[in-house]
Homo-oligomer: A and B are copies of this chain.
């Protein structure tokens, strides 16, 4: 395929068209993903998450510029959450990234949820894979840290960065266990504001309380992204974490787990489509639904009946 060839050679226009094709599940989309796969695996994936207003976009901007200055190529995937409430703000953020966009070595793509459940994480995964195949050394995925979709997105990252900002005691309380488990590196951005040291200290304390399951203690880096302060340190920590993962064997371990999950999900999806056809194709299904609505039957019993009437899989 001509488009694929051009993309693999690094043409930004071809890459963009390829991503659109796959995002819209256009004709040949599945084939493209299959053909692309052998070319992937070279890119290192960074996930950046944090609350709205923490300055994630500017930080991603600066990290990416640093990586380019070090001679790497990079792609940025910005997740525009499905929320109709926050969409606008995210688009506004993207405008601030113009100075990255003009660099020839960066490819920026915004994604939003239009499809069904799981649609966003699949689109993100596919986009990352395309950028990977097209030779990007680093792929930075930026997402607002809310909801299950985002947790899944972070799970495809090799290194996850959690961005926080200086806050009062109350705000620090909201840094809960969930975030502590996601982060490989913590950033206190906007650290020229009051309370930055205290926030950093609180995060360190909470990390200490956590039982360390491995030999990596997540560092806490203070930055002022708008002034490019501390970002060099952050990129250094990024390289350190990558080295730790590689040398400890965790890099390969994580990627194997990811492949397992991915294969299982594709199979489940295909079987799920068969189940839907089977159920809705049964002439008795509508009568069953009527009975449930009338409370003469319950949905659990119906589901049991249907599951039993399906052939056993094993």
Which A residues are closer than 8 A to B by beta carbons?
30, 33-34, 37-38, 40-41, 50-51, 81-89, 92, 113, 117-118, 120, 145-152, 170-171, 173-179, 252, 255-256, 259-260, 262-264, 266-268, 270-272, 274-281, 285, 288-290, 292-293, 295, 298-303, 306-307, 310-314
Contacts and interface: CB of A to CB of B under 8 A. Distances in A.
A93 to B, nearest CB: 13
Nearest to A119: B148
Contact of A263 (B85, B277, B292): B292
Nearest to A172: B88
A179 B274 CA distance: 32
B293 A85 contact: no
B146 A37 contact: no
B148 A147 contact: yes
A118 B281 CA distance: 25
B87 A274 contact: no
Contact of A178 (B82, B152, B179, B256): B82
Copies of this chain, tallied across the complex = 2
Contacts of A176: 84, 87-88
Given A84-B145, A149-B147, A179-B85, A267 B174 contact: no
Contacts of A310: 267, 271, 313
B266 A275 contact: no
Given A40-B295, A266-B299, A313-B278, A148 B148 contact: yes
B89 A174 contact: yes
A278 B262 CA distance: 15
A267 B307 contact: yes
Contacts of A293: 41, 252, 255-256, 259
B300 A37 contact: yes
Contacts of A306: 263, 267
A87 B256 CA distance: 33
A152 B288 CA distance: 23
Q: Kindly name the residue among A33, A264, A276 whose own CB sees the greatest number of chain B CB atoms within 10 A.
A: A264
Contacts of A50: 85
B263 A82 contact: no
Contacts of A84: 145, 174-179
B85 A30 contact: no
B275 A264 contact: yes
Given A117-B148, A179-B85, A298 B256 contact: no
Nearest to A181: B84
A120 B171 CA distance: 24
